[in-house]
């Protein structure tokens, strides 16, 4: 049976690491100096409200400042862009996140690219996309970053692995492929027009699926011993109850794969944890402090810093 990659547990370790780093910032720069994250929610989409509420709670638990802006669905694009400009110039805010999707009358690309690239903690700004694609230092999209961290911990090194990314969205698929390339994988991207998808699956040491179709990939398609990262979150009715499932048929995949992320409890918690990590990174870059990556995000260091933080608290 496949090992279950526990995203909740890994996300908590990242959260603890970030909290310890924020505590160190307070020791060095004073209690009033903490990373600040601004979230913007337009409209009243129930799922988006839950996401934004959870992000705000986790931000505060990490010792950061949370600034939430809830706007009516009727707001004009110019007014939204004006708010983003204000946040770009606010010294207390180091990360800006606009919850997607936006109402149809607002151009999402205009909004994303209005965010200052150094405060773009979602990693969606065209500048960050270009930096990632050219192998330069960029703000990395949260979900692909979380997937990569889990893969690195599982394998130690990804060098030489055959990786298959199913889905080519700008949010997950494309940046995921870029990160795997940066880690020296041989990468294939599959999409709705890919022929003989089963053949690609059977050659892949790593399969990352981000499509939004429940049970798209059955276990017998997988290469024995493959590691599966299931990004899909789908609500289905089973036995009269609504449950969450991924894009991979979990039951059959566990009999073939060597490791797999569950849904829920896999990639989802890592996305919010990496949002906090990115906000910390943005703060460090803006204030010219050593970045988390430069200090070495190791679990041993994170645990040691957390112990020091708790003893001082």
Q: Where are the alpha helices (DSSP H) in the chain?
A: 7-29, 46-61, 77-88, 108-114, 126-133, 142-155, 173-182, 197-201, 250-253, 267-286, 292-295, 299-312
Count: domains in the chain: 2
For 77-93, the pLDDT digits (tens) are 999 999 999 999 999 99
Distance CA 168, CA 259 (A): 23
Q: Residue 158 belongs to a domain with what CATH number?
A: 3.40.50.720
Single pTM value for the model: 0.91
**Position 18 in a domain:** no
Beta strands 234-238; 241-245: pairing state: antiparallel
Sorted by sequence, the CB contacts under 8 Å of residue 83 that are 6+ apart come out as 40, 69, 71
Tokens 């909290």 found at: 19
User: Which residue would you say has higher pLDDT here, 96 or 291?
Assistant: 96
Query: Is pLDDT above 80 for 56?
Result: yes
Residue 98's SS3 state is strand
| Centroid of chain to Cα 137 | 17
Domain boundary among the residues 252, 267, 282 is at 267
Mean pLDDT for the chain overall = 92
Q: 166 and 263 in one domain?
A: yes
**Position 203 in a domain:** yes
pLDDT of 298: 52
Q: 150 and 201 in one domain?
A: yes
**Position 128 in a domain:** no
Long-range contacts of 107-110 (CB under 8 A, 24+ apart): 107/77, 110/77, 110/81
Consult the annotation and say whether 167 binds a ligand.
yes
Q: Which residues are catalytic?
A: 55, 99, 122
For 183-234, the pLDDT digits (tens) are 999 999 999 999 999 999 999 999 999 999 999 999 999 999 999 999 999 9
Consult the annotation and say whether 168 binds a ligand.
yes
Q: How far is CA 162 from CA 166, 169, 205, 267, in A?
A: 13, 20, 5, 20
**Position 192 in a domain:** yes
Consult the annotation and say whether 169 binds a ligand.
yes
What are the backbone dihedrals phi and psi of residue 296, each rounded to the nearest 5 degrees, phi first?
90, 95
DSSP secondary structure letters along 138-176: -PPPHHHHHHHHHHHHHHS--TT-EEEEE---TTTHHHH
pLDDT of 45: 85
State whether the Cα torsion 69-174-144-200 is positive or negative.
positive
pLDDT band at 300 (very low <50, low <70, confident <90, very high): very low
Query: Is pLDDT above 50 for 6?
Result: yes
Consult the annotation and say whether 173 binds a ligand.
no
For residue 234, the enclosing domain spans: 142-267
Question: Which whole number is the average pLDDT over 261-286?
Answer: 96
- Which tokens go with 107? 């151009």
**Position 306 in a domain:** no
Tokens 């936006």 found at: 102
**Position 129 in a domain:** no
Q: 153 and 53 in one domain?
A: no
Q: Which of 74, 72, 71, 69 is nearest to 105 (CA)?
A: 74
């Amino acid at each position: 049976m496949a090992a279950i990659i526990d995203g909740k547990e890994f996300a908590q370790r990242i959260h603890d690491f970030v909290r310890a780093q924020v505590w160190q910032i307070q020791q060095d720069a004073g209690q009033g100096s903490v990373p600040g994250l601004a979230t913007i929610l337009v409209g009243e989409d129930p799922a988006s409200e839950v996401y934004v509420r959870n992000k705000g709670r986790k931000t505060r638990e990490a010792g950061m400042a949370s600034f939430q802006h809830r706007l009516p669905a009727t707001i004009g694009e110019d007014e939204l862009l004006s708010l983003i400009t204000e946040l770009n110039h606010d010294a207390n805010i180091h990360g800006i996140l606009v919850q997607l999707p936006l109402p149809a009358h607002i151009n999402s690309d205009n909004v994303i690219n209005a965010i200052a690239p150094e405060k773009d903690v979602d990693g969606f700004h065209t500048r960050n996309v270009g930096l990632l694609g050219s192998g330069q230092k960029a703000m990395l999209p949260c979900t692909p970053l979380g997937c990569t961290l889990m893969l690195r911990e599982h394998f130690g090194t990804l060098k030489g692995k055959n990786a298959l990314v199913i889905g080519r969205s700008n949010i997950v698929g494309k940046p995921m492929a870029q990160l795997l390339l940066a880690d020296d994988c041989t990468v294939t991207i599959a999409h709705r027009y890919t022929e003989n998808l089963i053949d690609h699956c059977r050659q892949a040491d790593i399969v990352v699926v981000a499509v939004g179709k429940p049970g798209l990939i059955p276990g017998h398609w997988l290469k024995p011993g493959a590691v599966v990262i299931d990004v899909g979150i789908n609500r289905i009715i089973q036995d009269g109850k609504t449950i969450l499932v991924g894009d991979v048929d979990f039951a059959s995949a566990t009999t073939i794969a060597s490791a797999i992320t569950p849904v829920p409890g896999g990639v989802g918690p890592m996305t919010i944890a990496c949002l906090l990590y990115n906000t910390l990174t943005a703060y460090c870059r803006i204030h010219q402090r050593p970045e988390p990556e430069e200090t070495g995000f190791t679990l041993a260091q994170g645990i040691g810093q957390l112990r020091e933080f708790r003893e001082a608290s």
